[in-house]
Structure 1
Amino acid sequence: MASLSFLLLLLLLAVSATFLPSSMAASPSFRTLDANAHFFNPKLPAKSFSSSKKFEGSSDFVNLRYHMGPVLSSSPINIYLVWYGKWSVSQKFLIKDFLLSISAPGPRRAPPSPSVAEWWQTVSLYTDQTGANVSRSVVIAGEHSDLHHSHGTDLTRLSIQQVIATAVRSAPFPVDHRNGMFLVLTSQDVTMQDFCRAVCGFHYFTFPSMVGYTLPYAWVGHSGKQCPEQCAYPFAVPAYMAGGGPGVLSPPNRDVALDGMISVIGHELAEVASNPLVNAWYAGEDPTAPTEIADLCEGLYGTGGGGGYIGQVMRDGEGRTFNVNGRNGRKFLLQWLWSPVLKACAGPNALD
């Protein structure tokens, strides 16, 4: 029975992944809204701006249900960061600026709308069985740098839990199974089981037998050298699309891999918050292969999106593509999320 249980646990590790985008966009049309930013859609013709497509992906067939498990409702959500491999100071600052942009700041410090905090409002609509909402406050409660790849540079879904166990023992991070989560980020020289081939990130929870506790976590990999055309889309596109697909969009922070990675981090954080132990919010009957709130909106970034179109997003005066604003003047491109109220994909940059 012990060996059978272990096999079942391995099977469960296949859940909750950010899968590679299944479709791409094409050349842009423009619509000027003010002197500093332009809304544009990399595929739809200009006449499409007259149609109302505020919330894309709407369907009566989507059966997203609550399965009675917890959500991350305690305020704040404590994120424990594990930097696996070598990361530059500027890369760390960029990712941490995104994470800290999730919390709604005071009115004097609020970034322009649409903002990352407004994007997270969709996640905060999800509740547990007591009616408690996902928290709208996030802090970085601890960081651990594993510079020398304590578990090698070729990881598996199971060995990522060993990385977390090492961080817990050496940091030491507090045991925070009610208020927090681990976020493991691997550097560009690290390979991961199924990375690039099938997924760009995934989330799950740790096994007490490996870490000592049941703790929600997410993993996201750096795709800079391995597969930017898959995991940093739409800032990089596959070679087979050259001449027939979209022009490569300019990343908002001038870093193709990191800007693409932040979009995946956002995807995984939204799903951890609403489904931390894979028994809360998801569609489908099989918990080993759930369809979660970000999966339902994969590839949608703005009004008019769907069917391979990313939707109408924004471009600043320097040509950088984004759809939300963050702290310290940062800009990000984040996919939309499924709203339990609207029963559709939604984001703060919707045009109507």
Structure 2
Amino acid sequence: MAPSVPPIPATLLALSLLAILSLATAYRPWPSTHPNATDLALAGSKKFEGSSDFVHLRYHMGPVLTNNITVHIIWYGTWQKPQKKIIREFISSISASPAASDPTRRRSTVAGWWKTVQLYTDQTGSNISRSVALGQEKNDRFYSHGKSLTRLSIQSVIKSAVTAKSQPLPINPKSGLYLLLTSDDVYVQDFCGQVCGFHYFTFPSIVGYTLPYAWVGNSAKLCPGVCAYPFAVPAYMPQLKPAKSPNGDAGVDGMVSVIAHEIAELASNPLANAWYAGQDPSFPVEIADLCEGIYGTGGGGSYTGQMLEGRDGATYNMNGIRRRYLVQWVWNHVVNYCTGPNALDQ
């Protein structure tokens, strides 16, 4: 993809606008009370982590991110320094080598989780890049577009970040990922009711470039039981006890898994024409959607699977460079089921 993209024809733009307004590329860590077709198809499988009899993930010949990936973050709203640090260190952990002095951190790592994502290739046979680096950051602490955002106004926030007069984010269509993170006092269209995060690509007519991006919101005040499970539980399931979050911030620890979900799908389907199941690119089932809510062996339905518990009682399933995280598994198209570095059969 060239750094500068020619204008989109009016008819294509109209279709694109319709797609983003009804886009289903989203993530909810707690399974919906209204199961979708994939839930129903897999419900009877002995190994709910997946079944080649039901899942038809296909490659649609579009690009994947084979160049070294750089994640540029837009911090929208009010963020505390410790919250930013948790997320920065997670992104930095994706490509990190485990500490040789600490054998426990060589097992079940975030980098091990990314190895499944790396298995996906483009039409030349090139794999998704092993390298995922933290890029430049932009603070939008004054809520430049208000505290209630639509899917389209999210693209306007990104435009403001890449065209700012002071320290704009670099424009890197080939290997840049633009991650818009909204603080816990910001509402985004469909947040909590339908989505906890989503990804797509920006329109040249709005931003000036075609850039892969994702939005993820902090649900701590609005809907922690929906988007920060299992560190918070749904109100309609009072019998469940919330798990202790590994970094002491349920909202941000919940965000980490959603961020991971969206980055994995952006890498494997950045322009909605690469790896997904289903016939409609506007409503794709992608490599993380297939494993929604699964964090360990045996996961499926409302069961997260076998996770790890620290000496402090915190629940997690992966080690980062300095922290522990709970990260959703992703679909492995080689073995045709969901996998993660904490699988019991590895």
TM-score (norm 2): 0.88
Distance 1:154 1:229 in 2: 21
1:19 partner amino acid = R
Alpha-carbon deviation of 1:340?
A: 1.2
Secondary structure (helix, strand or coil) at the match of 2:174 reads: coil
Which residue does the alignment assign to 1:71?
64
Distance 2:298 2:233 in 1: 21
Which residue does the alignment assign to 1:46?
none
**2:125 aligned with 1:116, yes or no?**
no
Q: Deviations over 1:44-79 (max 9, x none)?
A: xxxxxxxx96x822232211000111111102x011
Distance 1:228 1:112 in 2: 31
2:49 partner amino acid = E
**Residue among 32, 54, 69 paired with 1:61:** 54
**2:12 aligned with 1:16, yes or no?**
no
Secondary structure (helix, strand or coil) at the match of 2:236 reads: helix
- Paired residues, what number? 320
Q: Deviations over 1:225-264 (max 9, x none)?
A: 0000000011111122113xx3211111111101101110
**2:300 aligned with 1:293, yes or no?**
no
Alpha-carbon deviation of 1:20?
A: 5.4
Which residue does the alignment assign to 2:182?
186
**2:92 aligned with 1:85, yes or no?**
no
**Residue among 128, 133, 139 paired with 1:134:** 128
Which residue does the alignment assign to 2:271?
277
Alpha-carbon deviation of 1:321?
A: 0.2
Q: Deviations over 1:300-343 (max 9, x none)?
A: 11111123211111101110000000012x00111111001111
Q: Deviations over 1:82-119 (max 9, x none)?
A: 00111111111110000000003266378331000000
Secondary structure (helix, strand or coil) at the match of 1:203 reads: strand
Which residue does the alignment assign to 1:332?
325
Alpha-carbon distance change, 311 to 325 in structure 1, aligned in 2, over 3 angstroms: same
**Residue among 311, 314, 317 paired with 1:317:** 311
Query: Mean Cα displacement is larger for which, 279-288 or 232-241?
Result: 232-241
2:188 partner amino acid = M
1:240 partner amino acid = Y
| Structure 1 spans left out of the alignment, 5+ residues | 25-51
Which residue does the alignment assign to 2:37?
none
Q: How does 1:220-235 map to 2 (within 5 A)?
A: 220-235=216-231
* Contact 1:165 1:210 (8 Å CA) reproduced: yes
Distance 2:196 2:170 in 1: 28
Alpha-carbon distance change, 8 to 269 in structure 1, aligned in 2, over 3 angstroms: same
1:120 partner amino acid = W
Distance 1:282 1:267 in 2: 14
Secondary structure (helix, strand or coil) at the match of 2:159 reads: helix
Distance 1:263 1:68 in 2: 28
Distance 1:334 1:78 in 2: 20
Which residue does the alignment assign to 1:208?
204
Alpha-carbon deviation of 1:21?
A: 2.2
**Residue among 190, 195, 200 paired with 1:199:** 195
2:70 partner amino acid = N
Which residue does the alignment assign to 1:28?
none
2:204 partner amino acid = P
* Contact 1:81 1:143 (8 Å CA) reproduced: yes
Q: Deviations over 1:253-296 (max 9, x none)?
A: 11110110111001101000100111000000000000000000
2:216 partner amino acid = V
Query: Mean Cα displacement is larger for which, 90-99 or 2-11?
Result: 2-11
| Structure 2 spans left out of the alignment, 5+ residues | 1-7, 34-45
Secondary structure (helix, strand or coil) at the match of 1:159 reads: helix
Distance 2:29 2:118 in 1: 26
* Contact 1:300 1:310 (8 Å CA) reproduced: yes
Distance 2:178 2:244 in 1: 30
* Contact 2:56 2:277 (8 Å CA) reproduced: yes
Alpha-carbon deviation of 1:188?
A: 0.9
Q: How does 1:22-41 map to 2 (within 5 A)?
A: 22=31
Distance 1:292 1:141 in 2: 25
Calculate percent identity across the aligned residue pairs.
57
Distance 1:274 1:118 in 2: 17
Alpha-carbon RMSD across the aligned residues, in angstroms, is 1.9
